[in-house]
Amino acid sequence: MRMGKQSRFCGKSLWVPQFLAFALVLVFLILSGQNANALPAFARKYGLRCSACHESWPMLNYFGQKFKDNGYQLMNDRDAPIWQNPGYWPITLRITPFWSRESTNKVAVDTAPTGEQRLNTSGFNLSGLDILTGGTLEKNISFLLVPSADEFGAFHFESANVRFDNLFHSPWLNVKVGKFELDSFISEKRTLTLSGSGGGYQLFHFIPVGDGNIFGQLGDNQLGAEWMGHSADDRTRLSAAVFSSTDGNVDVPYGQNSYSWFFAGSQAFSAGKLGVQRIGGYAMFGQAPTTYLMSGGVPIPASGLGNKTYSRVGFEGLFYLGRHLNFQVFTQHGSDSAWFGACYGDIITGTCDPANNNTTGVLPAGAVNPTWNGAFVETHYVWSPQLTIFQRSEWVRMSQQAIPGTPSNLGDLDNYVFGYRYNPFMTSRAGFAIHNEYSWIRQRGTSPVTFTDLSSNSLLLGFDFDF
């Protein structure tokens, strides 16, 4: 349902009059609000308030993460579905009607003197639709199924997995199989941001300019198997996953025998009145094809060979500064094989030219592994369970380009987001949030004609609801 998963790039615009008009409406709605209660699907089962599991829906708090780690169970006699009220229906529908103003500073235009000009648009729109269902098939056998549609109604399976929980009565033995989100405790699926220029984490999807590796994206759900273990109080967490190097696509459309691995671990600790802090790290290592069999000059799906490697490693932290203020920190050091950097890799979907098919075993002269470093800091001020103010600042910097002579800053990213999210109500049957957000993003040297800096910005007023 993400509206800005991997957006393209931002600049300044005259949005102030529209913003003030919408702000007046929002102030009125905020002053007339009610108490928040619960997230629908699991709240209908357990009768919990929303603040039990969420900082601000859909972002989890410590108890919500523990509930998720236990396989959507409270570890009591109500976990097995046989004890549930027959009227309970574990399905949530989520969609976001919204108004937005989008501005891109350089779009290819035939009549422009330079071949590029600014394009501004505004209007009403819809996000995609998420249909979420999850819970227990039997005690200690849990599932999650999320069919999702884009705004045009084209469906895919965002998540579809079964997890065997507490094997041999141990919280350290939990096995998940299917399509699932990688086990970073900073979750893009639960981020508060929604706009076109800031809805997703750039580091979760970053690919250097001209790189052919689509397979190392942390933010895309993957097809594979995962072991996850945690202490009884969930303060220590470890996980390891193996998955096909397909970027979550079904039917193994790329390599014949290519796999990737993801490892994560974290430790939470009490800081007294400040709250429970969590720090951790992750590492993603994989290989993916650079050579494909051809038929009539067209690459044959699933025929990929010539596997080359890539890696993503970093630190993540969640820090509380009292009841109201918390912030997330995420860092990444990334590296791709020089073959990917020279745009060998994904020629199936057109990321790279089909002529770039590694049949010679010889790299372009001087090619090296592209490497980069990045980080983001996201801050949440939880004024009340109903109102959260948020911001995120994110940066990516190339430290080594793949091809000699490439500008050293080509592809560098800057992304800034701020806004607020207000829940007038949330009951055990429905949730509703008023969401106002502004975002700006710039990437160096990527405009379509002049290859100068490309930027865009988004102003969004959305009504995010689920039932």
Helical (H) or strand (E) element with 126: strand 116-126
Q: How far apart are CA 326 and CA 69, in angstroms?
A: 21
Q: CB neighbours of 222 closer than 8 A, spacing ≥ 6?
A: 179, 180, 182, 241, 243, 244, 246, 247, 248, 260, 262
pLDDT in tens, 449-458: 999 999 999 9
- 47 pLDDT band, cuts 50/70/90, is low
Handedness of CA 195, 199, 202, 208 (dihedral sign): negative
- 138 pLDDT band, cuts 50/70/90, is confident
Domains delineated in the chain: 16-466 (2.40.160.10)
Residue 156 predicted with pLDDT over 50: yes
pLDDT in tens, 298-326: 889 899 999 999 999 999 999 999 989 99
- 134 pLDDT band, cuts 50/70/90, is confident
- Per the CB < 8 A criterion, the answer to whether 426 and 37 are in contact is yes
Which residues on adjacent β-strands are paired with residue 290?
A: none
pLDDT in tens, 208-222: 999 999 999 999 999
Number of H helices, E strands in the chain: 4, 22
- φ, ψ of residue 376 to 5 degrees: the values are -140, 155
Q: What is the pTM of this model?
A: 0.84
Count CB-CB contacts under 10 A for residue 85: 9
pLDDT in tens, 76-122: 666 666 556 655 667 888 899 999 999 999 999 999 999 999 999 99
SS3 207: coil
- 245 pLDDT band, cuts 50/70/90, is very high
- Per the CB < 8 A criterion, the answer to whether 6 and 207 are in contact is no
Helical (H) or strand (E) element with 66: helix 62-69
Per-residue pLDDT, averaged over 144-153, amounts to 92
Q: How far apart are CA 41 and CA 467, in angstroms?
A: 8
Residue 13 predicted with pLDDT over 50: no
Q: How far apart are CA 130 and CA 144, in angstroms?
A: 12
Residue 431 predicted with pLDDT over 80: no
Average model confidence (pLDDT) across the chain: 86
Specify the pLDDT at position 17: 41
